[in-house]
Amino acid sequence: MTGPQFKPSDAVDFLVIGAGAAGGVVAKELSTAGFHVVVLEQGPYLREGDYSHDEIKYEYQPGLTNDPQVQPITYRKNENEPAKAMKAIEYGRQVGGGSVHFTANYWRFHESDFHERSLFGDVPGSSFADWPITYADLEPWYTKAEYDLGISGLAGANPFEAPRSKPYPLPPMPVKSSGALFDRGAKKLGLHPFPAPVAILSQPYQGRPACVHCGFCESFGCEMRAKSSTLVSVIPVAEQTGRCEIRPNSYVRQIVTDPRGRATGAFYFDARRREVFQHAKAVVLCANGVESAKLLLLSKLANSSGLVGKNLMWDNGSFATALFEHPLNEYKSIQVTRLIHDHYRADPKRGFYGGGGIDARFQFYPASFALYGLPPDAPRWGAEYKKMLGEYFTRSMSLLAHSTSLPMERNTVTLDPDVKDAWGLPAVRITHDHHPDDIATMKWLLEREYELFDAMGAKKVWAEPVEAFDTNRHLMGTCRMGLDPKRSVVNQYSQSHDVRNLFVVDGSNFVTSARQQPTATIQALAYRAADYMGRAAKSGELG
């Protein structure tokens, strides 16, 4: 920790809650613009030296994510069911947040994502709507994010991609065997495979080394600092300004407002669970699509629309795995090197709303492979099972379709009335069930995956049946962005309609889910919002 230390009694210019994908960006932008910033992060401050290639620690244990033993979560399909304790949602819980342990897929939205409701029409049973901003509004900020953070990719390689003002700052990562096979099969089907844009350095960049292809990206922190998390990219820049303090192990329980309805700071528990109040002139909530909603509900703030916590969208997709003749050795290098966006666009002719992107990937680390990687008809133990492990591990790969999740007001984050966390705060209660169109989309994409594997020359293909499921990592929609204060929680700059000096910037702002992979858009929104915050603070509009 190299930044300054502020006193809780100092009213800093901005108090940022959450040091993840969005919070790290906001902290850097505001501190480099001259503002004093304190960032409260509920998780620890880990460094590359703290990470390791330990599957038991990072996959079997909560690792870099929320621990339900300490912060229980309850889940139910609908409000008529009792909620049961389970890890229904998962998020990164350390300085850098989910940008530390994510796969690092870094997709911009398509132009159509921002006005898809107008293009496609209403979808009954959903609250499908247009965004209050366009792709053109966000494009400069996508570009800024790609250059600030360090993204590898090949501009123009995806024929469906929206216009870009600049190419990627770094060339794409080298193709793996999964990508080479995918290239071949997709082209045979007349599709358009392209190198995956990823938040991983293909070459040295801004003092950080290039990826060394160790193979431990998803669920793991990068020991090389080659994954472009906010932890290793923008947060050090923020600290070096001397105006930004990152305060880890600081768990916020309430944002406070004064009689004029202006935010004045937040109460939090420090590492020793002592309560502290940090004063601030403005508050920026970047705690993720579940925790931000929880905190607003706990604070009874910014909810005149009644929409805080509603429209929670889900991490939808379909997943298939296949065996090939020769070793692919997918455990080497990054997870994804090729994908397609040919099925991205929703087409009314399919008879349902939805679409997705399909990537070719490594999915199972060794123990996970033994537990979940073999076909459902394989033996689960014994001599034949052991033999299959030996044959399949190096010779298999997966396809993952990332697909739409329709917003619905009945899918919510609420406070559990009965269950408390280790600090005595109400547990998050998730209520979620899938829209039938989301299930239809996943089934349709799974059929495309079978076609692809066939064209790739797979010896055997298998998948779990598509059905509703109860776990979610892409936390979107619970503080919806919009121009009408009655129908949204924040405006087009992620500013609360109700509390002028309170901002909410993270996946909660999303009006639609696009095709998952939310990180690029979360960060572009954060750059754009931080720019607005700085201008508004300087002109006195937040006072």
Partner 1 sequence: MSLGFTRRGWLFGSLGSAAWAAVASAQEHAHRTAAGATAAEFKFFNESEAAEVAAIVEQILPSDDGPGAKEAGIVYFIDRALTTFDTSLQPAYRKGLSEVQDVRRKMFPESTSIASLPQDRQLELVRAIEKTEFFETVRTHTLLGFLGNPSYGGNRDKVGWKHIGFEMRMAWAPPFGYYDAEPK
What b/e readout covers 298-311, taking b as 16+ CB neighbours within 10 angstroms? ebebbbebebbbbb
Report in angstroms how near the CB of residue 226 gets to partner 1 at its nearest.
11
Report in angstroms how near the CB of residue 359 gets to partner 1 at its nearest.
10
Closest CA to 524 of 493, 482, 495: 493
Residue 137's region, left for phi above 0, alpha for psi from -120 to 50, else beta, is alpha
* Three-state SS at 200: strand
- Closer residue to partner 1, CB minimum distance, 133 or 320: 320
For residues 296 and 479, the answer to whether their CB atoms sit within 8 Å is yes
The three state secondary structure string of 330-350 is CCCCCCEEEEECCCCCCCHHH
Q: Which position has the token pair 């990164």?
A: 92
CA 125 – CA 119 distance, rounded (Å): 18
- Closer residue to partner 1, CB minimum distance, 171 or 372: 372
Closest CA to 228 of 25, 78, 385, 489: 25
Report in angstroms how near the CB of residue 389 gets to partner 1 at its nearest.
5
Report in angstroms how near the CB of residue 303 gets to partner 1 at its nearest.
29
- Closer residue to partner 1, CB minimum distance, 69 or 78: 69
Is the four-CA dihedral 504, 508, 513, 517 of positive or negative sign? positive
Q: Which two tokens stand for residue 255?
A: 């944002």
H helix count then E strand count, the chain = 12, 18
- Closer residue to partner 1, CB minimum distance, 302 or 339: 339
Report in angstroms how near the CB of residue 219 gets to partner 1 at its nearest.
8
Local structure of residue 57 (DSSP, 8 states): I
- Closer residue to partner 1, CB minimum distance, 260 or 380: 380
Q: Tell me the helix, strand and coil percentages in the chain, rounded to 5.
A: 25, 20, 55
- Closer residue to partner 1, CB minimum distance, 214 or 276: 214
Report in angstroms how near the CB of residue 452 gets to partner 1 at its nearest.
14
State the maximum Cα–Cα separation within the chain, in Å, rounded to a whole number. 73
Report in angstroms how near the CB of residue 318 gets to partner 1 at its nearest.
7
- Closer residue to partner 1, CB minimum distance, 239 or 359: 359
Half-sphere exposure of 192 (CA within 13 A, CB side): 11
- Closer residue to partner 1, CB minimum distance, 57 or 345: 57
CA 106 – CA 415 distance, rounded (Å): 32
How much is the CA Rg of the chain, to the nearest whole Å? Answer: 22
Count of residues for the chain?
A: 543
Report in angstroms how near the CB of residue 180 gets to partner 1 at its nearest.
4
- Closer residue to partner 1, CB minimum distance, 86 or 256: 86
Report in angstroms how near the CB of residue 367 gets to partner 1 at its nearest.
4
- Closer residue to partner 1, CB minimum distance, 327 or 348: 327
Half-sphere exposure of 86 (CA within 13 A, CB side): 13
Report in angstroms how near the CB of residue 474 gets to partner 1 at its nearest.
7
DSSP labels for 229-269?
-TTTTHHHHHHHTTSEEEE-S-EEEEEEE-TTS-EEEEEEE
Q: Which two tokens stand for residue 77?
A: 């399909």
Report in angstroms how near the CB of residue 500 gets to partner 1 at its nearest.
35
CA distances (Å), origin 274, targets 250, 267, 335, 428: 10, 10, 41, 22
- Closer residue to partner 1, CB minimum distance, 102 or 205: 102
Report in angstroms how near the CB of residue 56 gets to partner 1 at its nearest.
4
Q: What φ, ψ does residue 84 adopt, rounded to 5°?
A: -115, 150
CA 431 – CA 470 distance, rounded (Å): 10
- Closer residue to partner 1, CB minimum distance, 168 or 364: 364
